[in-house]
Structure 1
């Protein structure tokens, strides 16, 4: 099939590359000429395991192309995926200006029937706005509204495992309307996703609004589990319990399971923060408060400060003349995504207390440098106290303690003898509970986890 992907960001690139991998002819559009130049020169503007190799393979086979040509993109695809950003607006709602702009561009240039697929994460009712924008543009050229059918097909991709998630999905959600055009769109989507359903049916068909809500509900549920465990971990610290034992005790219940029950420094990234906020905003627009989600957001913001509070409790409020090594900057491993990353809050708070920070991340340091420059605007002296090094062990040299923020695999089994030799004090603040407190005690390391009890 001929497919157009509008937006060559995280979701768009993964979707385009994976559909091309299945033999489709894919045209990826982006209005940022720098991004298209990077892609056409063999680069990839984001880090995602396996994505670069897949893009190279399908470009070489002629199944994947990148361009800024809007008219050519609309002419190319019978199926048009809208995969542009939906950043949070000032009031927490999803900003749909890029989605609507993409829809209008489709309406201005299409002349034959198209299936328009909302792949971006959008609030309930967005398909109606997309349909209205396209219909309005078609009307200006006296073309019938029936030429387009809008489908909701939300993505369920985990950063760091997105290619695997797309190629072997646990579910495919497709929302269509029960109209002749909607039924035709459903059949086209069935054909497009047929290779992913070869061994068993993974597709859930539903109405458009239910599909739109499903995406937000999924992310809100996962975010809720994270905040719930962080609340329990903080309580475990106070009462002397071990949250790891608690996690195993409740996770063994088949009704609960083990997924997303790991306490830490709070969630971040491009999805959970904005999606929880947008869902809460949608409810408020309909006169209802989602009290659980409001609490999830509040707990998550507080959790980003927990490690700093532990450091302050150990060393005092004045951290001047002290130096801390930070392992991990990205909001999660296997990505360079720094959006809403807890490391940004932790670094700012340590510097605010006078500390110097030496940081290392296997992938995210270029993006982290850019983000921290924005975070420290107006405080150039503070930014000077933050540096990054290419080797995690080098970051430890002369530091008063090690602070672990992201659970990269490379941090799980370090040479602890070398760690102790390089640090001024054998102290670890572990924001991801990578190590066992008893093992650290045996080594002579003072260990501070999240809800861990020796």
Structure 2
């Protein structure tokens, strides 16, 4: 099948590579000339395990190409995916200017029947607006051409996007046209061989499904972070609590790990957008407002623990003269994405408290430089940042941090203090190794706010 994908960003590149991998002829279009030229030369602008190799392989075999020529790409393709960004506006609503801009380009260029697929995360009703924009452009051309608009939300986890696309839990197709549904089933059939989870529904329900899924996962994260805080107050162990509730088949274990808050390109944006959608129809989404509030507070928790553990009586600069080593900058492991990352809030708070900050991350250092510049120190070696630091803060749960050389850490630190925002280590092991260890929601002996 001949496919055009608008947007050579995270979703667009993964979709383009995976569709090409299954034998389709794919053209990926982007307005950024430098990005397109880089991709032609094999320079992939994002880090995602396996993506670069797949792009290079399919380019080499002639199934995947990159261009800035919208019109030629549309005319050469039957299925046109819209996978451009939908950044949040100041009021939290999704900004659809890029989506509608692509829709108009399609309307100006199309030369026959086309299927237009909304792959971007968009609010309910977007397909109607896309259809209207295309129809307006066709009317300006006096062109009576048939087309269908489909909602096909992505459910990709950064760091595992290739597997998620090639072996999906489900594929949601929103369409009111039986013929178009069959086209989409044919397109996704190679990914359905072992687990046929193609779900066809009306367009508005498909649009809502993506927001509802992300909002549910964000809710679980905020709920567990609140439970961790209560465990600290009551002397309970959040790891045992997770085992106790996760064993209930109605609940399960996924997304029940406490941490420094959710981040990334999806959860924060989609929660805000769903709250805004409710407001637009005079519906008060009280639960999601609380989820968002809890998450913003949670991003401050690690910095507060460090200030309580090391801070002076100086209310303005309690960490003046202190050095904090931070392991992890990306919002999650196996990505370089720092959008809405908890590390940003944590490090900003540490700097505001007067601390010197050193940071390591396997992939996100270049992104961190764009945010912090020279305000913090960086190293590509996780141990090099430890020398004479007053504490080590664990922010992202990269595998590299799970079983480190504890003797080396203790000898390097000026103070054997670890504040662990991911609960990577057992408190008993850390105590026997000579560390003061402050996790989330564990071994607090009833001391609210800090584990002793």
Residue 395 of structure 1 aligns to a residue whose secondary structure is coil
Structure 2 residue 415 is matched with structure 1 residue 422: no
2:256 matched to which residue of 1? 261
Counterpart-to-counterpart distance in 2, 1:278 and 1:5: 24
1:24 matched to which residue of 2? 24
Q: Deviations over 1:24-77 (max 9, x none)?
A: 000000000111111011110000000000001000000000010111111121
Counterpart-to-counterpart distance in 2, 1:271 and 1:104: 25
Structure 2 residue 360 is matched with structure 1 residue 360: yes
Counterpart-to-counterpart distance in 2, 1:42 and 1:274: 30
User: Is residue 338–residue 368 contact of structure 2 (8 Å, CA) maintained in 1?
Assistant: yes
Structure 2 residue 127 is matched with structure 1 residue 157: no
Counterpart-to-counterpart distance in 2, 1:20 and 1:136: 32
Equivalent in 268, 283, 294 of residue 273 of structure 1: 268
Structure 2 residue 336 is matched with structure 1 residue 341: no
1:380 matched to which residue of 2? none
For residues 355-434 of structure 1, the aligned pairs below 5 Å read 355-373=355-373, 383-384=374-375, 386-434=376-424
Return the TM-score normalized by structure 2. 0.96
Equivalent in 203, 216, 229 of residue 208 of structure 1: 203
User: Is residue 338–residue 371 contact of structure 1 (8 Å, CA) maintained in 2?
Assistant: no
1:173 positional shift? 0.1
Q: Which runs of 5+ in 1 are unaligned?
A: 374-382
User: Is residue 167–residue 192 contact of structure 2 (8 Å, CA) maintained in 1?
Assistant: no
For residues 150-229 of structure 1, the aligned pairs below 5 Å read 150-177=149-176, 182-229=177-224
Counterpart-to-counterpart distance in 2, 1:55 and 1:159: 17
1:303 positional shift? 0.1
User: Is residue 393–residue 418 contact of structure 2 (8 Å, CA) maintained in 1?
Assistant: yes
Counterpart-to-counterpart distance in 2, 1:337 and 1:61: 29
Counterpart-to-counterpart distance in 1, 2:277 and 2:91: 11
1:199 positional shift? 2.8
Counterpart-to-counterpart distance in 2, 1:106 and 1:437: 58
Q: Deviations over 1:96-144 (max 9, x none)?
A: 0000000000000001000000000000000000000001101111122
Residue 95 of structure 2 aligns to a residue whose secondary structure is coil
2:147 matched to which residue of 1? 148
2:56 matched to which residue of 1? 56
1:371 positional shift? 1.9
1:421 positional shift? 0.4
Q: Deviations over 1:168-194 (max 9, x none)?
A: 0000000001xxxx2222111111011
Return the TM-score normalized by structure 1. 0.96
Equivalent in 416, 436, 452 of residue 446 of structure 1: 436
1:123 matched to which residue of 2? 123
Structure 2 residue 45 is matched with structure 1 residue 45: yes
Counterpart-to-counterpart distance in 1, 2:300 and 2:118: 36
Counterpart-to-counterpart distance in 2, 1:251 and 1:389: 38
For residues 83-94 of structure 1, the aligned pairs below 5 Å read 83-94=83-94
2:448 matched to which residue of 1? none
Structure 2 residue 43 is matched with structure 1 residue 82: no
1:105 matched to which residue of 2? 105
Q: Which runs of 5+ in 2 are unaligned?
A: 445-452
Counterpart-to-counterpart distance in 2, 1:420 and 1:170: 43
Equivalent in 277, 280, 305 of residue 310 of structure 1: 305
Structure 2 residue 283 is matched with structure 1 residue 288: yes
Q: Across the two proteins, how many residue pairs are aligned to each other?
A: 439
Counterpart-to-counterpart distance in 2, 1:259 and 1:196: 24
Counterpart-to-counterpart distance in 2, 1:258 and 1:276: 22
User: Is residue 82–residue 116 contact of structure 2 (8 Å, CA) maintained in 1?
Assistant: yes
1:361 positional shift? 0.2
1:148 positional shift? 1.1
1:314 positional shift? 1.0
1:225 positional shift? 0.1
